[in-house]
Amino acid sequence: MLRNTREADEALRRCLNWRRRILAVSQQVSALHVAPAFSCIEMVDAVYFGLMRNGPDGRPMDAFVMSKGHGVMAQYVMLEHLGILTRGDLDDYCTARGKLGAHPDYGTPGIEASTGSLGHGLGLACGMAYADRIQGSDRVTYCMLGDGEMQEGSVWEAIMMAPNLGLSNLVAFCDFNDFQGLGRTRETHPHFYPLAEKLESFGWEAIDLDGHDWPTVVEAVRNRQGNKPLMVIGRTVKGKGVSYMENVAIWHYRSPNQTEYQQALDELAAAEAGIPA
């Protein structure tokens, strides 16, 4: 069990730091996707620091596709920590002299696919995982989707194909923060839920869990059946970790002002004080 272990505590601390780093970047620009990154931070961290295997060069040998491209700040700050992106890259975020935009761009170090338009990443991830399979690579492809994104028909084409192609080397996550542009996803599409049974009926293994509970996420993936693609439906809170952002739609794309920024840092510091040393 991972719960209450040093590994889990370190993950808690890392995730607070990712939030701090994203908030720091938010002070460089007039707006960025804070809340959509905060909702998936624990799951993205679980991929990079709990699940991916490193190659001999110390870099991940597995792949991660951020299909909900607007969540990419979560990935950028981790790639910076891993030395795949530089501090300068983040300093120049969304500036003409830099290379990082608000959505992932293929060709940027550590970025597997150009996403941002929803409904693309899972199909791409299926193609990658299939090519790995037939070329004898044991790479695992991880893919992060949004719950609003799950409404795209193309996602369901990929959901249909993944088991047909035998993609047991594919692990997808649904960041189920229950928000989309015009409301809560469970209210805009009440008959779309629950998701897990639908995925299972399509031939996937599906696990519904708390997407902020790092040990549970990591163990669920580590202990997967392994003979089918897996979808982790992570129940999350949009803006998780900063009280005034949680479940408040405007924080989808906005930078906190100085006062709000300080309050956010104070809240993160208080949360950190609760983690065993």
Binding site for other proteins (CB under 8 A): 106-107, 112-115, 117, 119-120, 122-132, 134-135, 137, 153-154, 157-158, 160-161, 165
To other proteins, the closest distance from the beta carbon of 60 in angstroms equals 15
- The separation between the first and the last C-alpha atoms of the chain, rounded to the nearest angstrom, is 19
Cβ closest to other proteins, residue 16 vs residue 47 = 47
Sign of CA dihedral 180, 184, 188, 191: positive
* Encoded tokens for 38: 């905060």
From 192, 196, 190, 194, select the one nearest 172 (Cα to Cα): 196
To other proteins, the closest distance from the beta carbon of 106 in angstroms equals 4
Contact by Cβ (8 Å): 262, 242: no
Cβ closest to other proteins, residue 12 vs residue 122 = 122
To other proteins, the closest distance from the beta carbon of 202 in angstroms equals 13
Contact by Cβ (8 Å): 159, 205: no
Query: Rounded to the nearest 5°, which phi and psi values hold at 183?
Result: 150, -165
To other proteins, the closest distance from the beta carbon of 128 in angstroms equals 4
To other proteins, the closest distance from the beta carbon of 170 in angstroms equals 10
Q: Is 47 exposed, middle or buried (0-12, 13-18, 19+ CB in 10 A)?
A: buried
Cβ closest to other proteins, residue 123 vs residue 211 = 123
Alpha helices for 145-257 (secondary structure H)? 153-164, 185-188, 196-201, 214-222
From 163, 153, 148, select the one nearest 231 (Cα to Cα): 163
To other proteins, the closest distance from the beta carbon of 161 in angstroms equals 5
To other proteins, the closest distance from the beta carbon of 155 in angstroms equals 9
Cβ closest to other proteins, residue 96 vs residue 134 = 134
Instruction: Assign 3-state DSSP to the chain and report helix, strand, coil percentages, each to 5.
Output: 45, 15, 40
Cβ closest to other proteins, residue 45 vs residue 132 = 132
Cβ closest to other proteins, residue 162 vs residue 218 = 162
Cβ closest to other proteins, residue 17 vs residue 166 = 166
- What distance lies between CA 138 and its chain's CA centroid? 22
